[in-house]
Amino acid sequence: MQSHSKKRVCYYYDSDIGNYYYGQGHPMKPHRIRMTHNLLLNYGLYRKMEIYRPHKATADEMTKFHSDEYVRFLRSIRPDNMTEYNKQMQRFNVGEDCPVFDGLYEFCQLSAGGSVAAAVKLNKQASEICINWGGGLHHAKKSEASGFCYVNDIVLGILELLKYHQRVLYIDIDVHHGDGVEEAFYTTDRVMTVSFHKYGEYFPGTGDLRDIGAGKGKYYAVNIPLRDGMDDEAYESIFVPIISKVMETFQPAAVVLQCGADSLTGDRLGCFNLTVKGHGKCVEFVKKYNLPFLMVGGGGYTIRNVSRCWTYETSVALAVEIANELPYNDYFEYFGPDFKLHISPSNMTNQNTSEYLEKIKNRLFENLRMLPHAPGVQIQAIPEDAINDESDDEDKVDKDERLPQSDKDKRIVPENEYSDSEDEGEGGRRDNRAYKGQRKRPRLDKDNSSINNSSNKTSSETSSDIKDEKEKPEPADGEDTSSTTAANNNSSSNNSNANSNNKSDSDASTPAGGSSSTTASKGAKENNI
């Protein structure tokens, strides 16, 4: 399963992070990060990646998202001066779930520093996968702490990524809803937040299927409300099709995955029934898209399983197989009685029927269909001499393959190097990186696992649905905008152009692919005709 390509992996860790303590009886234990780190060393994974000690994020960096007062408050509050801050503590929701503990601000600094440094690293293309298990604190709001989170390192990281990436996808597999991140990007179309979580009498209470974003960001928040007892199989059956569809329609330039381990079986706060393997499969699946990839931690309150899970997921990122037998380490006794890496699910009932999941999925597909294509894409004029061979090899497409080659190619092809690909009729979106010509295309690896195969059909079926749907909203302006395409740098015009192409090519039954540049040039060509 881990046969895919080796990546350059950067890992962020500060040896101090394990020694912060939220307080007696508090389920959040930063020490799990240290336990993971020690496991990584003894598994020999440590030596296979670049290890960085992150800087401490400055208040300046934090205020990129958080309000000044809130950061000032975090910086000044200490257990010994708490009484002076009673009012502010209430205002910023610091006290119960988010206690004031020794070194609180430093802890936030380290966690945020790691994610920001990782994002900058990805921006500089100095790494393909960055990991910060100390991050992932997805509940923190702009000026409010929530759910054990004070500073939202994810939002800070994504903001950094947005400087160089037109669209960033955020995926959240914590058992809790990623409300902090969703709220921060609720009204933008440049970040899509996808959260899989338990919904119903559960913290934080948000994440309804109907919450889909607002304003420009409408349809850019995707919530998958789940019930107790999700097992590996059910999780995969919803994760894979949704993420495939999201990748297809949103076409992110970078991905952030929050790997909250409280969705594992037996978690102190969670109520799902996933194993380490099932959890890791999500990482594996997202990794296959070969996009700049930031992995962060998150929840996880049965610390032995958290360190198991994150160790395994690091090995997935590195594409290294590790033994099920745990190596000896300082915390070996925690992993008794079996001392194995993998855990087995419990016999709890899965309250998510396949019927329920199917319905949710369909509703979300409907929403995703509403996405205008290629939000905010900046387009450059396409050179006339672009190779245009969209028509010749329709039959080469393997219908059983997950996404036809064409579909992958349409995402970008710098300099048209994949000249034998088919044109994609569906959307004239281009990846912003297309003209950068530096990054690999986000194609899936050929050796698609069974996960992908199972999802093939749904995704290709729905992608054809999408076509129909898309034609509806703007059929009229297809004609006039298409004339301007070649020179116009406007994305929507490009889309409608593609749609009109699509209409005229309606006999092309397979969702055809091709680089966006070829699509665009095709439009140009037709205009000439």
Partner 1 sequence: MATNMYRVGDYVYVETTPNSPYLIRRIEELNKNQTGNVEAKVMCFYRRRDLPNPLVQLADKHQPALEEERTSPTQASAGANSGNSSASNNSNNNNNTNNNNNASAGDAEKSESLTSKQRYQIKHRELFLSRQVESIPATQIRGKCSVTLLNETESLQSYLNKDDTFFYCLVFDPNQKTLLADKGEIRVGSRYQCDIPAKLKDTATDERKLEELESLVWTPEHSLTDRKIDQFLVVSRSIGTFARALDCSSSVKQPSLHMSAAAASRDITLFHAMDILHKHEYSIEEAMSSLVPSTGPVLCRDEIEDWSASEANLFEEALDKYGKDFNDIRQDFLPWKTLKQIIEYYYMWKTTDRYVQQKRVKAVEAELKLKQVYIPQYNSGKGNGSASKSSNAAAGIYNGTTNGGADLSNNGKPCESCGTTKSSQWNSFSNGHMPSRLCQSCWDYWRKYGSMKSAHKGDTNDVAEAKKKAALSASPALTASAVVDLNDDDKVSDLSNRQLHRCSIVNCGKEFKLKTHLARHYAQAHGIAISSGSPRPIMKTRTAFYLHTNPMTRVARIICRSIVKPKKAARQSAYAINALLVKQEFTNRISGKSQAEIKKLLLLKPKDRGSVTKIANRLGAPGSGPHEWLVLTPKDKMPQPVSVSFPKPPKAADGSLVYERVPNKTPDVVALPVTTDKELSIIPTQATSTIRKRAHDEHQLNGTEVTIVASGPPAKRPNKDPMPSHCPSPEQFAAMMAASGQPLSRHHLNGKQKIAQMARGGNGRKQVISWMDAPDDVYFRATDVHKKTRKILSAVDLRRAARKPWRTLPIKSMANEPTSKPIESQIVILD
Stretch 433-452 residues interacting with partner 1 (CB under 8 A): 435-436
Is residue 395 close enough to count as binding partner 1 by CB under 8 A? no
Q: Which is nearer to partner 1, 383 or 437 (CB)?
A: 437
Is residue 472 close enough to count as binding partner 1 by CB under 8 A? no
Among 4, 54, 300, 388, binds partner 1 (CB under 8 A): 54
Q: End-to-end CA distance of the chain, in Å?
A: 48
x/- letters, 397..426, toward partner 1 (CB under 8 A): ------------------------------
Neighbours of 382 (CB within 10 A): 23
Annotated binding site: 97, 147, 174, 176, 262, 301
Number of residues that bind partner 1 (CB under 8 A): 106
Is residue 467 close enough to count as binding partner 1 by CB under 8 A? no
Q: Which residues contact 25 (CB under 8 A, 6 or more apart)?
A: none
Is residue 387 close enough to count as binding partner 1 by CB under 8 A? no
Q: Which is nearer to partner 1, 186 or 312 (CB)?
A: 186
CA distance 17 to 35: 11
Among 93, 109, 111, 166, binds partner 1 (CB under 8 A): 166
DSSP secondary-structure letter at 311? H
Among 184, 222, 257, 412, binds partner 1 (CB under 8 A): 184
Cβ(305)–Cβ(264) below 8 Å: yes
Annotated binding site for substrate: 97, 147, 301
Stretch 497-526 residues interacting with partner 1 (CB under 8 A): none
In degrees and rounded to multiples of 5, residue 292 shows phi and psi of -55, 130
Active site residues: 139
Q: Which element (helix H / strand E) includes 494?
A: helix 491-504
Classified as helix, coil or strand, 517 is: helix
Q: Which residues of 82-114 are buried (b: 16+ CB within 10 A; e: fewer)?
A: eeebeeebeebbbeebbbbbebbbbbbbbbbbb
Is residue 488 close enough to count as binding partner 1 by CB under 8 A? no
Q: Which is nearer to partner 1, 212 or 379 (CB)?
A: 212
CA distance 425 to 297: 39
CA distance 502 to 469: 12
Stretch 77-116 residues interacting with partner 1 (CB under 8 A): 79, 102-103, 113, 116
Is residue 465 close enough to count as binding partner 1 by CB under 8 A? no
Selection from 136, 140, 160, 138 nearest residue 150 by Cα: 140
CA distance 164 to 334: 42
Reading phi first (left if > 0) and then psi (alpha if -120 to 50, else beta), residue 195 is in beta
Q: Which is nearer to partner 1, 208 or 400 (CB)?
A: 208
Is residue 59 close enough to count as binding partner 1 by CB under 8 A? no
Q: Which is nearer to partner 1, 185 or 310 (CB)?
A: 185
x/- letters, 260..279, toward partner 1 (CB under 8 A): -----------x--------
Stretch 13-42 residues interacting with partner 1 (CB under 8 A): 13, 15-16, 18-21, 23-25, 31, 34-35, 38, 41-42
Q: Which residues contact 328 (CB under 8 A, 6 or more apart)?
A: 42
Cβ(157)–Cβ(116) below 8 Å: yes
Is residue 311 close enough to count as binding partner 1 by CB under 8 A? no
Is residue 143 close enough to count as binding partner 1 by CB under 8 A? yes
Which region among 53-61, 409-417, 445-453, 512-520 touches partner 1 (by CB under 8 A)?
53-61
Beta-bridge partners for 521:
none
Stretch 345-374 residues interacting with partner 1 (CB under 8 A): 348-349, 351, 355-356, 359-360, 362-363, 366-367
